[in-house]
Amino acid sequence: MAESVGIASLPNQKYKLITKEGGEFTIMVAGESGLGKTTFVNTLFQTSLKTAVDNRTRHKRGIRPTTEIDIVRADLEEKNFTLRLNIIDTPGFGDNINNKNSWQPIIDFIDDQHDSFMRQEQQPVRTNKHDLRVHACLYFIRPTGHSLKPLDIATMKKLATRVNLIPIIAKSDTLSPTEILEFKSRIRAVIEAQEIRIFTPPIDLDDEASAEHSRRLIESMPFAVIGSENEYDNGKGETVRGRKYPWGLVEVENEQHCDFNKLRSLLLRSNMLDLIVSTNELHFEAYRTLRMQTGDNTEVNGGITTSSRKFHNPKFKEEENALKKFFTDQVKAEEQRFRQWEQNIVNERNRLNSDLDEIQQKVKALDEQVKALQLKTTKR
């Protein structure tokens, strides 16, 4: 039997290459504050990548925070394979009374990454590309048990056209199993009705097992998760990540308790490559064609937009307009007041002048009388 040519070993060579290179993965966590984003990230990668915001720093930021972008980089190593991980957090999102356009910084950030990657591609030397394109965006939904809020819908609509959006129900340990089912079905209905395109794992028809797995994942979307950084003994001699309540221990990795395992499988174990590929082929391509069609001179244009976009936040614009209006109103009112005063003073001056005239005439008359008297006396 002849030895095979060796073409079949190409995947093995690729495997070695990729193992050496490592991977890069960028994940974004968005959602209102207090939904356990930080804890979730730490739970997902089983390390303390991010620390929770403490009260003092919160006070420093003031009561009216704006949405910020916070990037954490980490190299994770598992079985000699390193993954360069970028985690993008969006503190301050949805914290205001008026949340109109509070999603703008997030959208801007995503667009900026696409833009910068596109310009790097156009450079003559492009070996060291710096890539922060968001591969997956986890949108955290508050476990209200009702439905999606307008803020959620508006933000998800904007995000869905730009990244792989994965909606998740945060802190799901406040909803009982029946409540979760109801909540999920309502969210799914809204997502469908509002035509929000969320990320769904591709169903591979050739591979029965993986297709079944994907179907199961799609069925349980949006994932209800909990997060915890602490480990407890679950009573069977195992230490598990979980939340210890007086009424019981919630296990993060227990399928009965939450969908954490499914989400991790989607994000890391089975569909990470799908996420990366679809970001590149779908979202980045869409952005690129859009830019190529609209902006003819991208290089100059791009430079301007990235720097000037910060100043084009519609929220600032609104505030500016309000301030301007207030200012002009104030000036007008003051001017009106001064005009009134002036008028009064002019009137008063006229009155006094006429008084003066009268008196002067009287004086004149008296003088004349005096003169007449003098004349009389001199005559005598």
Site residues (CB under 8 A) for other proteins?
Answer: 32-36, 53, 55, 58-59, 63-65, 95-100, 142-147, 149-151, 153-154, 171, 173-174, 176-177, 186, 189-190, 192-194, 243-251, 256-257, 337, 340-341, 344-345, 348, 352, 355, 359, 362-363, 366, 369-370, 373-374, 376-377, 380
Among positive and negative, which fits the CA dihedral 210, 214, 220, 222?
Answer: positive
Residue 16 or 349 having the CB closest to other proteins: 349
Cβ closer to other proteins: 240 or 282? 240
Pair of tokens at residue 53: 């915001």
**Is residue 142 a contact partner of residue 170, using CB atoms and an 8 Å limit?**
yes
Cβ at position 184, least distance to other proteins in Å: 13
In terms of CB distance, is 71 or 370 closer to other proteins?
A: 370
CA dist., res. 203 & res. 214, Å (int): 6
Nearer to other proteins, 281 or 334 (CB): 334
Pick 82 or 96: Cβ nearer other proteins: 96
Query: In Å, how far from its chain's centre is CA 369?
Result: 93
Helix axes 150-160 and 104-121, enclosed angle (nearest 10): 10
Rounded to a whole number of angstroms, the minimum distance from the CB of residue 373 to other proteins is 7
**Which residue lies nearer to other proteins by CB, 228 or 271?**
228
Residue 217 Cβ, how far from other proteins at the closest point, in Å? 20
Q: For residue 139, list its beta bridge partners.
A: 30, 167
Q: How many C-beta atoms lie closer than 10 Å to residue 165's C-beta?
A: 24
Least distance CB 110 / other proteins (angstroms): 20
**Eight-class DSSP state of 130:** -
169-208 burial, b for 16+ CB within 10 Å, e for fewer? bbbbbebeeeebeebbeebeeebeeeebebbebeeeeeee
Q: CA 50, CA 40: separation in Å to the nearest integer?
A: 10
Least spacing, CB of residue 292 vs other proteins, in Å:
31
Coil/strand/helix, residue 29: strand
Q: How far is the CB of 23 from other proteins (least distance, A)?
A: 33
Q: Which residues pair with 140 in a beta bridge?
A: 168
Strand 248-251 with 70-78, pairing: unpaired
Closest separation in Å from C-beta 271 to other proteins: 27
> Which is closer to other proteins, CB of 108 or CB of 173?
173
